[in-house]
Amino acid sequence: MTEHFFPADELLLYSVIDWSYDRILAGGNPMTGARPASDLEAELANAISPEGIGGRAALEHWADTIIPATRAMGDPMNLAYIPAAPTAAALTFDLAVSSAQIMGGHWETGAGAIAAENQTLRWLAELAGFPAEAGGAFVSGGTVGNLSALVAARHAAAQKRDTRPARWAIAASRAVHSSIDNAARIMDVDVLWVDGDAEGRMSGEALEAAFAAHPGLADGVFAVVANVGATNAGIVDHLDSVADFCGRNDVWLHIDGAYGLAAMASARVRAQLTGLERADSFVVDPHKWLFAPYDCCALVYRDPVQSASAHSQHAGYLEQVDREAWNPSDHAIHLSRRVRGLPLWFSLATYGTDHYAGAIEKALSTTREVVEGIRASDHLELVMEPDLSVVLFRRPGGSEEQKTEWSEATADQGIALIVPTRWHDELMFRMCFVNPRTRSDRVLLVLDTMA
């Protein structure tokens, strides 16, 4: 029976590669989306069976049922949530990474791949102004990256405190990503919520006020989480004053830059991020604004000795792991690991870092052009000046139902994906620009239909 299980079906292999080739060239439709579970279950009902349906029938299910019920994130007119724009090189190389069957948790099993990933992490660390000994690992996404960094932060605090507080806590603004609140629940720690300015940006002064107002809670704070590109409004916290506060109080500073920290590749933006170089850790998701495929988050520590102390796993079957080598499993809450940083490495090596900086600058320029168009419009209002490439705007008048209907109709007609969000209890519209192929004139023509 097993003689037909492992040998490659050459025709099937070519069929899958052909489908992938066509998809990379043509892209996908971001305007499609979910379908009722009952429909999908019915269409896939016989896909898994004792005797199997064969690779060609399975590929037909993939092309005819599964893909049409998903949303491609890389289209230039997908402006919802945080879109994606993976390069052709990154997408193509993702096939090679899967084919290579590398376990990237330990140096012994993945040395070459890990060395390439580390080269990529070093580029990010240098952009941030971190020291030469900085390092980390690629994990699945910002949620795992944030959680791993906060686990390391609490471990570091426990190591240096003589007495532990009644309750540990994280300090963050209300604009922080939902994964921070989720991490607090997972770790069973409290959150000291810090008031931001009118747009939600956290500062050192706001941290001082929050600590003074809640001394019992503040006593247990082991980390401050600052934003570089908060997801909903794209805001950037006042990093310099936040870093000052953390330095005075000997508190770990973690930067959640899952979306926005990619912009540090722009020299102009990096100059506005003073204080970033004093952080203890940061995350940035290459599958957002660094043109890599899902799923990928770069987690970088200033001092990886501390992260290894928190995360290294020990067991009888791990006795042969060389603890002097660089093992990505030592720096996050994972052991088995796909070398998901390699598509980014391949894309960087293919195109060069200058092209990356230029692509990010292009998205920032498009953002400014769209903002000027909204400002000049007689039927739209800009809500706030964007810090990076998230634009919040409103269409005065009309009901929430009408605004939602416009968004749905625009997507259903295959024009654009622009969805509402809620900001300060008001339903408004939000666009996020990360794709250098997005044209401002096309976006503004779509917005004209709101009139």
Q: Which two tokens stand for residue 161?
A: 């405190």
Least confident span in 10-24, 121-135, 166-180, 430-444: 10-24
pLDDT digits (tens, 9 = 90+) for 266-314: 999 999 999 999 999 999 999 999 999 999 999 999 999 999 999 988 8
The mean pLDDT of 98-106, rounded to a whole number, is: 94
For residues 426 and 363, membership in a common domain is answered with: yes
For residues 402 and 290, membership in a common domain is answered with: no
* C-alpha–C-alpha distance, residues 203 and 187, integer Å: 25
For residues 233 and 291, membership in a common domain is answered with: yes
Q: Are 79 and 433 in contact (CB under 8 A)?
A: yes
Any idea what the Cα angle at residue 170 is, between residues 165 and 434, rounded to 5°? 165
pTM: 0.95
For residues 357 and 221, membership in a common domain is answered with: no
Whether 433 shows a pLDDT value over 70: the answer reads yes
pLDDT digits (tens, 9 = 90+) for 43-90: 999 999 998 999 999 999 999 999 999 988 899 999 999 999 999 999
H-helix or E-strand spanning residue 95? helix 88-100
Residue 103 within any structural domain of the chain? yes
Among candidates 104, 105, 102, which has minimal Cα distance to 313? 105
Whether 221 shows a pLDDT value over 80: the answer reads yes
Whether 1 shows a pLDDT value over 60: the answer reads no
For residues 61 and 155, membership in a common domain is answered with: no
Least confident span in 14-28, 198-212, 335-349: 14-28
Residue 75 within any structural domain of the chain? no
> Which residues, in sequence order, are CB contacts of 286 under 8 Å at separation 6+?
262, 292, 296, 297, 298, 341, 344
Q: Specify the pLDDT at position 245.
A: 98
**Which bin fits 450, alpha (ψ -120 to 50), beta or left (φ > 0)?**
alpha
Q: Which two tokens stand for residue 342?
A: 């390699």
Q: How many distinct structural domains can be found in the chain?
A: 3
Q: Are 418 and 80 in contact (CB under 8 A)?
A: yes
Residue 87 within any structural domain of the chain? no
Burial class (CB in 10 A: 0-12, 13-18, 19+), 181: middle
Q: Specify the pLDDT at position 237.
A: 98
325 or 193: which carries more pLDDT confidence? 193
For residues 347 and 357, membership in a common domain is answered with: no
CATH number at residue 332: 3.40.640.10
Q: Specify the pLDDT at position 314.
A: 81
Residue 80 within any structural domain of the chain? no
Helical residues (DSSP H) of 161-195, grouped into ranges: 178-187
Q: Specify the pLDDT at position 402.
A: 95
Residue 84 within any structural domain of the chain? no
Among candidates 306, 310, 289, 286, which has minimal Cα distance to 298? 286
Question: 220 in helix, strand or coil?
Answer: coil
- Containing domain of residue 440, as a range? 353-448
For residues 153 and 240, membership in a common domain is answered with: yes
Average pLDDT in the chain: 94
| Local confidence band at 375 (pLDDT 50, 70, 90 cut-offs) | very high
For residues 290 and 418, membership in a common domain is answered with: no
